[in-house]
């Protein structure tokens, strides 16, 4: 389920990228860098938590499909040049997989009492802020 949601989220962003490039060239959209990959990944994770809260994961499949999702869709939408597509794919796949691991651990610990319903959104927000800090450190 995670990979399906991730593909949907990245494809929608790709569509926005293509349409903005064609009809609103002055618009500067965030490039497919680490911050954007993290944002799309945590968004997909939060959406998946509501759609399939008890979903089981095969981590190897999650990682491989995430690599393909970021690589293929970024290239198709023109968000990554031919020379950058492998870097984008690997970095995107790694980002998504690591975030999925951390997200699951955090969400499970927050999923009690009144915080349960908001746990995915709060976890996603915290993780995104952590990624922003990581970008600064790097």
Interaction between residue 136 and another protein (CB under 8 A) = yes
Determine how many CB atoms are found less than 10 A away from the CB of residue 127. 22
Angstrom distance (rounded) from CA 123 to CA 129: 10
Nearest-approach distance from CB 116 to another protein, in angstroms = 28
Contact 74, 14 (CB under 8 A): yes
Tokens 């293929």 belong to 72
With CB under 8 A as the contact rule, the residue among 57, 72, 90, 98 that binds another protein is: 72
- Binding residues (CB under 8 A) for another protein: these are 3-4, 7, 11, 14-15, 18-19, 21-26, 28, 30-31, 33, 35, 39, 61, 64-65, 68-69, 72-73, 75-78, 132, 135-136
């Amino acid at each position: 389920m995670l990979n399906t949601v991730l593909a949907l989220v990245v494809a929608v962003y790709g569509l926005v990228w293509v349409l903005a490039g064609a009809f609103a060239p002055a618009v500067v959209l965030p490039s497919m860098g680490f911050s954007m990959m993290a944002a799309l990944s945590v968004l997909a994770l939060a959406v998946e938590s509501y759609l399939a809260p008890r979903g089981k994961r095969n981590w190897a499949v999650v990682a491989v499909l995430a690599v393909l999702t970021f690589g293929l869709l970024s290239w198709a939408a023109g968000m990554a040049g031919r020379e950058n597509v492998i870097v984008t794919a690997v970095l995107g796949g790694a980002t998504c997989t690591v975030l999925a691991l951390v997200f699951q651990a955090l969400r499970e610990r927050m999923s009690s009492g009144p915080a349960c319903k908001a746990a995915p959104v709060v976890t996603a927000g915290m993780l995104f802020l952590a990624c922003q800090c990581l970008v600064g450190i790097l």
